[in-house]
Structure 1
Amino acid sequence: MLHRLTLPAGTQNGKEAMAAVLRSVHAANAARHPVELVVADHGGGIQFLIDCPLVLRSLLLVHLLDSFPGAKLERVDDDLLRSANNRKMQCVLLRPDLDFEYLRRDSDRYDPMTAVLSLLKQNRSSSSHARIAIRLRPAHDRRYRWAKRSQYVSDGRCVSKMLQVKLVRGLVHHQRSFRWLSAILARCFVFGGSATPQKESKVYDCLFETQLTIQVETQAPGSADAQERVSDIVGGFSLFGSNDNRWAVAAVGNERPVGHAGLLSPEEIALMWHPVDDAVQVAKLHRLESVEVEPPITLPSAGRHSRLTPLGRTAYRKDSRLVGLPIETLRRHVYVTGKTGVGKSSLMLSMMTANMRDNYGVALIDPHGDLYLDAVAQTPKRRTNDLILFDPGSNQQLVPFNPLDVSGGIDRGRIADGVLSAFVKVFGLDAASAPRLLHIFRNALYTLVEQPEATLIGINRLLTDAQYRKTAVARVTNPAVREFWHGEFGRWHERDRAQFLASLQNKLGAFLSNRQLQLVLGQPKSGFNLRHVMDDGGILLCNLSKGRLGEDSANLLGALLLSSLQLAGESRADIPEAERRDFICYVDELQNYSTTALATSLSEARKYRAPLFVLANQYREQLAPELRSAIVGNCGSLVTFQVGSEDAPFWSRHFGGSVTPEGLMTMPKFHAVANILIDGMPSGPMTIKTLPPPKAIAEKVKKLKRQALRQFARPRAELEEKTDALFR
């Protein structure tokens, strides 16, 4: 049975581990079944192959996987090593000069296998392929006896050195007549040898009868290229010789030659055939595309949970079970990280598709627009009336959004704080760098939320129009806010006041002068009520494409939406927990919108069942330190795609020793390492492959958009008229 051994990046101590495997095989293979170790230039890459009988398959599988964590041993076609009818083969059989002397057993500063693999891959002609085959089986007892006799003769004194050398070679000859003749002559001419070799001698080691064959296939018989490749590889094997023992060519032929097997120890064989370390830079060396980590025995299943949100399928050998998250796990949030283009958005789309199909409330904040369009296409037809499309970059109808709208019953002060945190995120400010600016802005927002039909567009008027400010302050019920305007603000000199307000006006003007933001944020009533969306299980899809809105404007809208979602979720404290409908919020490129309140919301949103966050970004340094800690501490499920060199060590430590930094950095597209909650407890890391999303239907998308705009959007001309009135 032919098997291919493939290892992930990060393999270390390959020689020592392979020697241990060979010793285990030697001890368990009392029937002396032959095993063949092959390194082949095949299929555009260099592959490690093992040909073993069925009775040894389980033994090899156990020991190889124990010695090389993450290795993959898979059955391949036995014809892989057979020559095609129209191809000719040139073969060379190598054997050690002496059975009782060691060849090279260790590497000093470099791995000699590097040179052999480099020669093996030199496929200068597309018509030739090379391979190295090491056929071995535990040595018979008589081979040990003849090796001891050879060593006795080699250590003794002889009347002629030339005769002694010939006698030693005769004792290891493959023909019995030569061996017996040499043994008889040795009794007559060799004296003084030790009848009992030293314990450190090779003949006391566990040995294999080994045939090493170098084979090159070619379409042209007698090809010079094939002969040259054979000669190069034979020369490369001189690196495995020692001062006491070297390789010799035992046979040459167009078919695989049959010759006398030499005796080799596990260390000698392992040095010639072992999975090489990452330091060995050989092109076309076949490695696992990704790390493979064994999943837990029990995974959430449809039988135990009525509705599952799929992550993908396990990617461990032949195990391909569905990995899904029940709603109890989603209530503890999900964090997805990885480089751009590795499959984060595809994973989120698959999850959203399942959530919409299962009648959950869903929100999406997308900074690019592609995920938004895909999510629209996956909306079930029966949920058309639940769909809200918030696309502030549109040139036609727009859905207004007023973050200062208090009609939802949320505390006015909380609304003002949420808006402030969004602007602080976008401005990049803190209390230490701009205390006075934040002080003025906070009191302005506290004042604005108490005005009838207040919008963010009116904040500039509040700061510059004294008569309007006087009227607005008269409506304020908070005595501290009134005291600020009447006392502190009123005592400032006009010159100082202008200077203090200039910085805030400049920052606000950069956003509020954007025409699209004016139309969206300048309406007294929002086109949708977030509290109602959550309670009724609506679908809110937000397209915050930076290409149409501008980066800063898109980030501000996203931060305002995220803050409003958090406040709407917390406002559900007025209804019993059993009546709170689960609402899942997907946020792509989290770093653009993460406010300081998000860290707190990760620990509290589970109580209100909204919003249950599925957060995604590319690397940890994009996030504030307190948010990084909150994600690791409060997100119950973590999914890591391919990451960079800075993040790989952290996630490797987080997942445990079975996931190496190298494995995380070489993870292929649509593969990830996941650690989810199962019955409230972490499952441990497992490798998954995400599911492909279903195909979209273009006609269906047009109908969904038309219906959603009819329900929640307003004509652009109407919005322009109301917005322009605010500037008169």
Structure 2
Amino acid sequence: MKSDRRRSDPTLMLSILAGALCLAAWRALSNVEPDQAFSIIKSLAPVAIGSIGLASALATQRFLSTRRALGSRRAVAVVPADEFEVSIETVLRAAAQLSRSDRAVRGWMCRRASAIRFTLDSDPEGRVVYLIESREDQMDLVRSTLRAYEGIEIRRADEVRPARQAGTGVTMRTELVLARPSVEPLARLELDPDPLQPFAAAMAGLQPGEHASVHIDLLPAAGHRRARLTRHLARQVRRLGIDQVGISERLGLNSKPRRSDPATLAERRGLGRGLDAKLRDGGAIFEAQILIRTRAESRVRASATMTNLLAAFESLGDRNWLRASGVPIPGLAFLGSDLPGRRRRFDRRVNTGLFRPARRNIVAAREIAGFLKPPTIYLSDENVLRSGAMLSPPPDLPALGDEPDLIPIGRTSAEEGERIAGVRTADTFFTYVTGRSRFGKTELAICQFLHLVRSGQGGLFLDPHEDAIERMKPYLTDPNVSDRIVEIDLGPGASEQQPGWNIFELGGPEAGEAEGRIEAVVDAFASALQWGERSTRAINLTAQSAMALTAISRALPAELCPTIFQLPTLLSDSTWRKATLPFMPRAAQRFWMDRFPRLAEEAITPLTNMVDRLRASAAVTTLLGASRSSYRIREAMDRGQIVLACPGSGGTRDRLLANLIVFDLLHAAKTRANVPPSERRPFWVFLDEVQTYDGAVSGNLAALLEQSAKYGIRAVLLNQNPERLTSATLQALTTNRSHLIATALNSKAANLITREWGGRPDPAALTRLPRYRFIAQVTDRGNASEPFALGGISIQDLFGPGVPKPIQGAVETRTPTEALAHLETLDDRILDALRAVRKTGQVADTAELEPADSAGYVPLRVEGDRR
């Protein structure tokens, strides 16, 4: 067998031929006279100079093209679902598609920058992150190829692999090359178990501050380059001893077979099977560069991680295997990539993606199939970054900016890359966003609200915590935006200047407006104090009090209109109450004359105590103590104003303020019934912590939300847990929703949401979602999508840095001093005005107030009513 190899080795013949050519050239030059030689050199000088210049220009162009291409390289993270799996046929098809990137224009110029990199990296938590990197002009092909893998997400690399500071520890480097000629194949591993399993196990041992990465750079070979690599493999076959007949048959050439001894035939069959595996059944062919780098505080730790990663590559060994590039000195050292003279070149290749391996390594896709796909379900280690449950691909939503009237919904992945997608305003009526605090739902709402109001829409953002409003203000300073702003700031650092808002002020003679104000007050108190069906006495007393104040407001000038702070006066001052009776309807008069005196003294306590708590705050008094309003929600709707409201996130008082704002808005929307539908300007309402406004057991919020959509209200409701909503409100939201978006929830809440999606995905997927990741179902062109993965967005993503400036505002404000001075004498001035109006005869005379005899009367109490 050895003699046969020597006979088939062309090295000796090539050496003899080279020697003969050199001898012939020497003899020819020795016969040339010196004068003739000089003239020949002189005549060839321009050709030589031109050739050198052309070669230099090409070399310079190639250097610059390679440098530009290296600078344009981009990486994306491919995050698999928990149930992700893929067949070997799919992997080979994906590899064949990637090999087509070799046919790019001017590919020769930047070929060393054209490798497609597959990286196993470790994030700061020690999880395995799978990334793909390529030139920017190749990225479209990469993304198109990844669509063959169902159940993956494409994310930005910096999202899952934050930039690391330069380490001060020990870094170890290893480059792997094929130990045998490339024609001999590596092992053909199956995908179950996952070939990436040992790599995940090796990275599982990383400690905080340590890092490890494995880079598989594949340079595609298609067309004439594949043919050249095939010829290279054929030469290796001949050097290894496969005779001309065997290789000719495999390459489709005609040749007559010859007889060989059995040992040679056995060797030939083994090598032939390897060649078949490489050229026929191995799929696409690539040139490979494999780089490994580890970093730790000590050499012992870095070396241990490197050893584990090298051991993970042992599973690829067959007739060929991978070894570290370098020269071993037995018993002393190994001169590899960590030599001082080689470290810089190694790090440059790792950092830039430059393809310049230590030796040519030709591999087939089948040999490295385990690295051409992300970790699958068959990789059992927990330290792998995954996206959660298997989800449908995102719907074909338009990119933000491609069409008018879009609302940003989040980041989606498509063939053209990750982009911020939008949903159409025509498809948006109710949006419900739920999930844990600090997981990105409020950030999403901020982005949507800013996009809408900066586009000319009107809206209200109710933020109990004030943080969201403070973050929005620098983006609302443009003159055409800031002059539409109405700010109600009742948070901990509330401004002394507040607009005036009188909920009992009536803007016209319509009976519907007065009824709406009454219902708004009743609903607000019922929700804030959580009155239910057994709280009939408290509800009726609130309604009668609100009706009385709205009745007298019609008879008084605007500067004397009663405010919410006249409720205690009405309930506790019989003289003042007697003066209001002539202005009430007959049925209301009978209540105050006959039934009210029979109520127990503590019946008025819930109302009077609540109003007293409102008046204890200077900011609240400034807002609600104005007889004439400068803030009117109906005007805000019709004029497209921007209302920023922070009622505070404290106790019952703050809940009452929030509910007054919400229910005043919803009832005011119903007064637009007399406006033609085409003229009802949309008004976008964002309610954070929506359970705050859903305290009434009767389901008032649900009913109003269902009715208000027809009057131009578009609502975005947010809270941390759907279980905190009443059953009626949750059913109203899920039934009429346009979009349902959820981030991480507890298991019970996750079951509630996934039931609305028909049981998909597994509720456990919602419990494991990371920050700024959502599962969403949206409406697009009237059709509900399947649940899909959605990435979060930030203000900076859409608008860049803000411009902090003072906001002038759309309405007049006033100080607490002015408000207190007005309220101090308002009761007396109203009483005098009512008496004056009665003396003029503008109202019918009413009998003297004669309270019903309450001696021995025991007020009727409903069981469970403690109000």
TM-score bucket (shorter structure): 0.5 to 0.7
Aligned counterpart, 1:476: 584
> Post-superposition shift, 1:571?
0.8
The 8 Å contact of residues 212 and 294 in structure 2, kept in 1 or not, is answered as yes
The 8 Å contact of residues 399 and 713 in structure 1, kept in 2 or not, is answered as yes
Gaps of 5+ in 1: 77-85, 138-173, 190-201
Aligned counterpart, 2:550: 449
Q: Distance in 2 between matches of 1:562 and 1:450?
A: 23
Is it true that 1:584 corresponds to 2:684 in the alignment? yes
Is it true that 1:70 corresponds to 2:170 in the alignment? no
Seen in structure 2, the aligned counterparts of structure 1 residues 512 and 623 have a Cα distance that, compared at 3 Å, is farther
2:645 partner letter: C
- Structure ranking higher on relative contact order (CA contacts 8 Å, 6+ apart): 1
Aligned counterpart, 1:168: none
Aligned counterpart, 1:391: 489
Residue in structure 1 matching 2:574, options 455, 466, 470:
466
Deviation sequence 1:67-110 (CA, Å, 0-9, x none): 4422449999xxxxxxxxx9864658699xxx99x9996879xx
Is it true that 1:368 corresponds to 2:465 in the alignment? yes
Aligned counterpart, 1:406: 506
Seen in structure 2, the aligned counterparts of structure 1 residues 94 and 463 have a Cα distance that, compared at 3 Å, is farther
> Post-superposition shift, 1:651?
4.6
The 3-state SS of whatever aligns with 2:506 is coil
Gaps of 5+ in 2: 1-68, 103-114, 159-170, 221-238, 247-259, 267-276, 327-335, 337-356, 554-560, 829-867
Aligned counterpart, 1:666: 769
Seen in structure 2, the aligned counterparts of structure 1 residues 19 and 680 have a Cα distance that, compared at 3 Å, is closer
The 3-state SS of whatever aligns with 1:401 is coil
Seen in structure 2, the aligned counterparts of structure 1 residues 229 and 559 have a Cα distance that, compared at 3 Å, is closer
Is it true that 1:316 corresponds to 2:414 in the alignment? yes
Aligned counterpart, 1:620: 722
> Post-superposition shift, 1:508?
5.0
> Post-superposition shift, 1:477?
0.7
The 8 Å contact of residues 489 and 495 in structure 2, kept in 1 or not, is answered as no
Q: Distance in 2 between matches of 1:57 and 1:327?
A: 32
Q: Distance in 1 between matches of 2:661 and 2:134?
A: 62
Seen in structure 2, the aligned counterparts of structure 1 residues 278 and 418 have a Cα distance that, compared at 3 Å, is farther
The 8 Å contact of residues 65 and 71 in structure 1, kept in 2 or not, is answered as no
Q: Distance in 1 between matches of 2:752 and 2:189?
A: 39
Q: Distance in 1 between matches of 2:423 and 2:217?
A: 48
1:438 partner letter: I
> Post-superposition shift, 1:558?
1.6
Is it true that 1:534 corresponds to 2:637 in the alignment? yes
Is it true that 1:426 corresponds to 2:528 in the alignment? yes
Is it true that 1:8 corresponds to 2:79 in the alignment? yes
Deviation sequence 1:111-166 (CA, Å, 0-9, x none): 785454232565689999664879999xxxxxxxxxxxxxxxxxxxxxxxxxxxxx
Q: Distance in 1 between matches of 2:99 and 2:684?
A: 61
For 1:144-183, list aligned pairs within 5 A.
176=241
> Post-superposition shift, 1:644?
5.4
Identity %: 18
2:521 partner letter: V
The 8 Å contact of residues 81 and 388 in structure 2, kept in 1 or not, is answered as no
Seen in structure 2, the aligned counterparts of structure 1 residues 381 and 289 have a Cα distance that, compared at 3 Å, is farther
For 1:103-502, list aligned pairs within 5 A.
114-120=197-203, 131=214, 176=241, 232-233=308-309, 254=326, 275-277=375-377, 280-281=380-381, 283=383, 285=384, 293-296=393-396, 305=404, 307-311=405-409, 314-316=412-414, 318-319=416-417, 323-324=421-422, 326-330=424-428, 332-377=429-474, 378-382=476-480, 385-392=483-490, 394=494, 396-408=496-508, 409=510, 410-432=512-534, 434-452=535-553, 453-477=561-585, 479=587, 481-491=588-598, 497-502=600-605
The 3-state SS of whatever aligns with 1:406 is coil
2:550 partner letter: V
1:527 partner letter: S
The 3-state SS of whatever aligns with 1:442 is helix
The 8 Å contact of residues 177 and 359 in structure 2, kept in 1 or not, is answered as no
Moved more, 270-279 or 314-323: 270-279
Seen in structure 2, the aligned counterparts of structure 1 residues 216 and 456 have a Cα distance that, compared at 3 Å, is closer
Q: Distance in 2 between matches of 1:559 and 1:130?
A: 54
Seen in structure 2, the aligned counterparts of structure 1 residues 207 and 592 have a Cα distance that, compared at 3 Å, is same
For 1:74-93, list aligned pairs within 5 A.
89=174, 91=176
The 8 Å contact of residues 313 and 691 in structure 1, kept in 2 or not, is answered as no
> Post-superposition shift, 1:300?
8.3
The 8 Å contact of residues 143 and 416 in structure 2, kept in 1 or not, is answered as no
2:633 partner letter: L
The 3-state SS of whatever aligns with 1:542 is strand
The 8 Å contact of residues 134 and 210 in structure 1, kept in 2 or not, is answered as no
Seen in structure 2, the aligned counterparts of structure 1 residues 589 and 247 have a Cα distance that, compared at 3 Å, is farther
The 8 Å contact of residues 237 and 247 in structure 1, kept in 2 or not, is answered as no
> Post-superposition shift, 1:273?
7.9
The 3-state SS of whatever aligns with 1:364 is strand
Deviation sequence 1:330-358 (CA, Å, 0-9, x none): 5x243344433344444444444444444
1:461 partner letter: T
Seen in structure 2, the aligned counterparts of structure 1 residues 93 and 663 have a Cα distance that, compared at 3 Å, is farther
Aligned counterpart, 2:34: none
> Post-superposition shift, 1:561?
1.3
Q: Distance in 1 between matches of 2:513 and 2:361?
A: 91
Q: Distance in 2 between matches of 1:681 and 1:456?
A: 46
Aligned counterpart, 1:568: 668
Seen in structure 2, the aligned counterparts of structure 1 residues 678 and 714 have a Cα distance that, compared at 3 Å, is same
> Post-superposition shift, 1:275?
0.7
The 8 Å contact of residues 403 and 561 in structure 1, kept in 2 or not, is answered as no
Q: Distance in 1 between matches of 2:153 and 2:768?
A: 17
The 8 Å contact of residues 658 and 693 in structure 2, kept in 1 or not, is answered as yes
Instruction: Report the TM-score when normalising by structure 1.
Output: 0.68
> Post-superposition shift, 1:387?
3.5
Seen in structure 2, the aligned counterparts of structure 1 residues 456 and 13 have a Cα distance that, compared at 3 Å, is closer
Q: Distance in 2 between matches of 1:7 and 1:88?
A: 25
1:616 partner letter: L
Q: Distance in 2 between matches of 1:50 and 1:355?
A: 36
The 8 Å contact of residues 487 and 644 in structure 2, kept in 1 or not, is answered as yes
Seen in structure 2, the aligned counterparts of structure 1 residues 556 and 234 have a Cα distance that, compared at 3 Å, is same
The 3-state SS of whatever aligns with 1:450 is helix
Root-mean-square deviation over aligned CA pairs? 5.8
2:620 partner letter: L
The 3-state SS of whatever aligns with 1:339 is coil
2:528 partner letter: V
> Post-superposition shift, 1:567?
1.8
Q: Distance in 1 between matches of 2:564 and 2:152?
A: 56
Q: Distance in 1 between matches of 2:822 and 2:465?
A: 29
Seen in structure 2, the aligned counterparts of structure 1 residues 309 and 478 have a Cα distance that, compared at 3 Å, is farther
Q: Distance in 1 between matches of 2:717 and 2:754?
A: 20
Residue in structure 2 matching 1:525, options 628, 638, 647:
628
The 3-state SS of whatever aligns with 1:717 is helix
The 3-state SS of whatever aligns with 1:451 is helix
Aligned counterpart, 1:165: none
1:444 partner letter: S
Seen in structure 2, the aligned counterparts of structure 1 residues 687 and 105 have a Cα distance that, compared at 3 Å, is closer
The 8 Å contact of residues 4 and 47 in structure 1, kept in 2 or not, is answered as no
Aligned length: 640
Larger radius of gyration: 2
Seen in structure 2, the aligned counterparts of structure 1 residues 40 and 12 have a Cα distance that, compared at 3 Å, is same
